[in-house]
Amino acid sequence: MASQREHLQTHVLAVHNKEKPFKCEQCNYMASQRGSLQKHVSAVHNKEKPFKCDQCDYMASRREHLQTHVSVHNKEKPFKCEQCNYMASQRGSLQKHVSAVHNKEKPFKCEQCDYMASQREHLQTHVSAVHNKEKPFKCDQCDYMASRRGCLQKHVSEVHNKEKPFKCDQCDYMVSWRGNLQVHVSAVHNKEKPFKCEQCNYMASQRGSLQKHVSVHNKEKPFKCDQCDYKASQRGSLQKHVSAVHNKEKPFKCEQCDYMASQREHLQTHVLAVHNKEKPFKCEQCNYMASQRGSLQKHVSAVHNKEKPFKCDQCDYMASRREHLQTHVSAVHNKEKPFKCDQCDYKASQRGSLQRHLSAVHDSHRF
């Protein structure tokens, strides 16, 4: 009887009176029961994970967490969302889903920035990854490192195992994670861009895309290419650069012509601009129109703002675009002339020069 009375008192204090008398000495965590505080200290501060999965290398600090994990192997998801097709193996997971996705609740706030999260774990991951720069999860097949186990699993599945079980029912897009498919549908088909830049009119469909964009304003480029002077604000941008520029990989092919691209976005832009003739980005200062936002930004920078950030280290030449500087170095300093006339021995360092030659000398209007 005594133990039952104690449990009832604990229940009343915790659930109805919202009292949390047990405080953690190492952080601001508070609990209604001493046992909950002990579990918190063991799991969060002491990093103890005594419960091991016998089907993989997963380890948990609590037996309940292990039981939840095992449901991943068993593929059991008895709890269904009434508002969408989400299914969960635990009632708590369903409750978190409804709170975060449908109710848009984000009660956990970061003390170092304006980030808000629907779950405490998401906030902890944010602080660890963004502010503390911690990436404890390492890929054993390459040098990729992640701040979350899920990100590592996604990397292995997508990059090394090439698994893409989730298919878009509106196009041929395939992806390894359901969340990425949802983002794709929202961004590409529904045209939703809820993330806005505070410094310009840029809008993005993903928070990560906005964060990448903000780095343009902050001028931070910590990732450096070891084969040239290219610098990037994101590791993924550096990887794309190496794949496209140095490895010459172009896995994305156009179905309407022989164009090949190193990135899916480049192929999509090609189809829109070349085949569909779409140019949705308009200049506010002249009648220039572009198929890409980046092209419009380059135009404004070069034509209207007269910016020339790319400087030649061999003379005083300055260019508004990196490609123009590369052409200058190739033509002027390296004396390279890769464009040859097929009607005479004329050679040019630029395609435009060859076109002018053909038009003036041979009266040809090709290209």
CA triplet 313, 316, 321: central angle to 5 degrees? 75
Last residue of a domain, one of 58, 76, 94: 76
Residue with tokens 């006339």: 341
Identify the weakest region by mean pLDDT among 8-17, 19-28, 117-126, 193-202: 8-17
- HEC string of 55-93 equals CCCCEECCHHHHHHHHHHHHCCCCEECCCCCCEECCHHH
Distance CA(311)–CA(326), nearest Å, equals: 10
For residue 225, is pLDDT > 60?
A: yes
pLDDT score for 3: 63
CB contact set of 19 (below 8 Å; sequence gap of 6+): 13, 32
Last residue of a domain, one of 48, 76, 104: 76
In a domain, 323, yes or no: yes
Task: Kindly indicate the confidence band of residue 364, based on its pLDDT and cuts at 50, 70 and 90.
Answer: low
For residue 367, is pLDDT > 60?
A: no
Mean pLDDT on 246-264: 85
The better pLDDT of the pair 3, 30 is held by: 30
Dump pLDDT digits (tens) for 309-329.
889 999 998 988 888 888 888
pLDDT score for 321: 83
**Cα–chain center distance at 334:** 38
Mean pLDDT on 172-183: 80
In a domain, 345, yes or no: yes
Task: Kindly indicate the confidence band of residue 51, based on its pLDDT and cuts at 50, 70 and 90.
Answer: confident
pLDDT score for 14: 65
In a domain, 200, yes or no: no
The better pLDDT of the pair 209, 115 is held by: 115
Residue percentage of the chain with pLDDT more than 90: 2
Q: What's the pTM value of the predicted model, to 2 decimals?
A: 0.32
Task: Kindly indicate the confidence band of residue 134, based on its pLDDT and cuts at 50, 70 and 90.
Answer: confident
Last residue of a domain, one of 34, 49, 76: 76
For residue 293, is pLDDT > 60?
A: yes
Mean pLDDT on 170-189: 81
Closest to 329 in 3D by CA, of 339, 319, 340: 319
Task: Kindly indicate the confidence band of residue 91, based on its pLDDT and cuts at 50, 70 and 90.
Answer: confident
Task: Kindly indicate the confidence band of residue 106, based on its pLDDT and cuts at 50, 70 and 90.
Answer: confident
In a domain, 155, yes or no: no
In a domain, 115, yes or no: no
- β-strand pairing of 87-88 with 79-80: antiparallel
For residue 92, is pLDDT > 60?
A: yes
For residue 332, is pLDDT > 70?
A: yes
In a domain, 35, yes or no: yes
Residue with tokens 């104690």: 6
Instruction: Provide the domain limits for residue 53.
Output: 24-76
Identify the weakest region by mean pLDDT among 67-71, 101-105, 194-198: 67-71
pLDDT score for 303: 87
Distance CA(349)–CA(336), nearest Å, equals: 6
pLDDT score for 1: 52
Please tell me the total count of domains within the chain.
2
Task: Kindly indicate the confidence band of residue 77, based on its pLDDT and cuts at 50, 70 and 90.
Answer: confident
The better pLDDT of the pair 180, 310 is held by: 310
Contact 284, 273 (CB under 8 A): no
Mean pLDDT on 16-24: 79
Distance CA(127)–CA(342), nearest Å, equals: 61
Residue 359: strand, helix, or coil: helix
CB contact set of 263 (below 8 Å; sequence gap of 6+): 240, 244, 252
pLDDT score for 38: 85
CB contact set of 181 (below 8 Å; sequence gap of 6+): 166, 167, 168, 173, 175
In a domain, 28, yes or no: yes
For residue 87, is pLDDT > 60?
A: yes
In a domain, 110, yes or no: no
For residue 286, is pLDDT > 60?
A: yes
Identify the weakest region by mean pLDDT among 39-48, 207-216, 238-247, 302-311: 207-216
Question: Residue 322 maps to which CATH number?
Answer: 3.30.160.60
Task: Kindly indicate the confidence band of residue 30, based on its pLDDT and cuts at 50, 70 and 90.
Answer: confident
Averaged confidence pLDDT in the chain:
83
Contact 147, 132 (CB under 8 A): no
